[in-house]
Amino acid sequence: MKRLSIILALLGFAVGTGIIVHLGAAHVASALMSVGWRGFAILVAVQLAIMVLLSLAWDVSCSGIKTYRLFYGRLAREAGNSCLPFSQVGGILLGIAATAGEDGGRPPSKDQPGWPVAAAATVVDVTTETMAEIFFVLAGLYCLVGQDPQTHYTWPLIGGSLIAIGLIAAFVRVQQGAGRIFRFLGSHIAASWKGALDAQADALQAAMDRFYASPARLAGGASLHLLGWFAGAAWTWLACHFLHWPITPAAAIAIEGVVSGILSAAFVVPGSLGVQEVAYVALGAVFGVDAAVMLGVSLLRRGRDLALGIPVLIAWQVLEWRALRTPTTQPQPAPLAATRRETDA
C-alpha cells in the first residue's frame, strides 16, 4: 500500500502539472493573482468558520469530550489529509492521536479522553459526515442533470458519483464492527499482545455503543455536517467570485457535490493529487467555466488547506516534543508477559 500510494501521488502530481502546462502557467497564475491576499485571507477565514461548524457537529454526535479537543482533532485530521503524503486513513489516525491527547505514555486526564474513546468518536464523526455527504452528492447530481443532461461530461460524472455513494455506504456498514475487526487483527499480530489489545478493543466498542445509543444526537450531528457540506459549496461560489467568473448557487452545489464524491472514491491517492484538479476542470466545463478558473479554484483550495494545516502540524509536533521531554511520574504497568509469569507462580 505504501508503494502504491507513492506511485499514485507521483502520477497525480504529474497529471496536475500537465494540466497547468496545457492551460498555460501564466494564464493560471494570472487568475490566482487576481484574488489578492485580502481575498485569499477571506477564503481561509471562511474555511476556518466551516471547521468550527464541523467541530460543533462532532460535539453534538459525541458528547463527553471537550469541544476544543474536537476542534483540534478535526484540524489535525484535515491537516494530515491535505499536507502530508497520506491517504485519508493516515489523516484519520493523526486526528485520533490529537483528539486523544495522551502524552508521553501517561494516563489521560479529565480533559484527555484517551485513544479508545477518541477513536470511537472519530469513527462516529466520519460516519455521520459521510452519511450527510450522500445527500449532498445527490443534491449535486440533481443540479448537474438539471444543467444539461446531454453534455458528454455529465453521465461519466454521474457514474463516478454513484460509485462514490456506494463506497461511502459500504464504509458506514463496515465501521460498525470496528471493535471486532480490531480484536481479530490484534489476535493475529502477536500472541503476547492479545490480552491488552482485547481490552482496548472492548473499550473502543463500548464507546461506540454509547455514542450510537443516541439516534437523536447522531441525526443532529449529520444535519450540521450536511450544512457544512453546503457551506463548502458556498466557499466554491465565493472563490469563483474572487476569480471574476461568477457562477450560480446551483452550479456551486453541483461542482462541489460531485467533486466531493469523486474525491471520496479516490481516497487512496494522497492529497487527491491530480484527481481534484481533473474533477474541478471537468465540472467547470459542464457549466461553461473557463478551465483556468476552475484550476485556480482547486489551487486556492490547496493553498487554503496548507495555510490552515501547516500551523496545526507544527503545533502538534511541538506538543509531542514537549511530551517526550517531560518525565513520566505515573507508575508504568508491568509487561503483559511478566504479569502472566507472576500469575502462574
Q: What DSSP string describes 56-95?
A: HHHHHHSTTS-HHHHHHHHHHHHHHHHHSS--HHHHHHHH
CB distance 138 to 148 below 8 Å: no
Nearest-angstrom CA–CA distance, 265 and 134 = 12
Other C-beta atoms closer than 10 Å to the C-beta of 319 total 14
Please state whether 149 falls in left (phi above 0), alpha (psi between -120 and 50) or beta.
Answer: alpha
CB distance 270 to 5 below 8 Å: yes
Give the model's pLDDT for residue 193: 41
Identity of the residue numbered 210: R
Give the model's pLDDT for residue 181: 46
Give the model's pLDDT for residue 332: 45
Give the model's pLDDT for residue 35: 84
Spell out, as residue ranges, where the chain has pLDDT lower than 70.
1-28, 30-31, 85-88, 102-111, 147-162, 164-165, 167-199, 267, 323-345
Q: Which residue stretches of the chain are H helix?
A: 2-23, 25-33, 36-61, 67-83, 88-100, 115-147, 154-174, 178-189, 194-212, 215-242, 249-265, 275-286, 291-325, 336-344
Contacts of 113 (CB under 8 A, 6+ apart): 64, 65, 69, 99, 100, 101, 121
Nearest-angstrom CA–CA distance, 335 and 332 = 9
Q: What DSSP string describes 232-277?
A: HHHHHHHHHHHTT----HHHHHHHHHHHHHHHHHTTTSGGGTTHHH
Give the model's pLDDT for residue 21: 56
